[in-house]
Structure 1
């Protein structure tokens, strides 16, 4: 069996899970990961030469997601994905759905940093390299994103306390 097939078999689901946090939509995550594998197939020599094929595919998938994000109006994308995620994927854990829904409201750069750090478990340096920014910028994005998420995810609990 060839390298690309082996990597697909071992990494596809994990990459989709990681990109789900970046994209905020499972179908979109599946699309960008599939696109990354298609690009790997189209550039076999490059792909076969990389030391860490999963990291290479993740970087390609994140870049595909960024490009798609830039091409769409944010409001249209959020509206479309928020209407369909829960009905298409009722088996996903409700906590994860709530987290991803809250993450959708964050700026793309914060959402990407949070997803790569917490869903993909990447170190700060690797996230900085993938994003093309200094590590300090990633730290700031993570801090701001965590603060925003804390406010968003605690909001219902605070409302219940006042009832």
Structure 2
């Protein structure tokens, strides 16, 4: 696509995206959904820009595409809800998370991001240290150090939680 077409589309996008999002927001009532749909509609306009640019009102074309995308999402949601209603309530009732799970999740949130990342990759995805190192862009020794520090911190944090629980229950 020629650079002039790209510049034309950029100018069109900048001039119209706010109106299209506002239009969709008014129609669907969800800002995030409106933004997602608008982006999809503009992506389609970009794909067909050589044709759409020649229309009298390219924004109207984008709005029409966005409206169809929104309608399709609502139809999909309605079909899903109908299917769920036919199936009835799920057999399994999901219980609240156990106190242990809550304590572990809370302790993990207190770790630095780099330690939380290697713990998740190692224990939740069963990745070996070598693969974790490649994935996070760090040396294997660095991954091992992060795992060691994270384990120590978790042990300390979880032990403190256990101590607090035993203090409360012994009162």
Relative contact order (C-alpha < 8 Å, sep 6+): which is higher? 1
Assess same fold via TM > 0.5: no
TM-score, normalised via structure 2 length: 0.41
Whose radius of gyration is greater, 1 or 2?
A: 2
TM-score, normalised via structure 1 length: 0.43
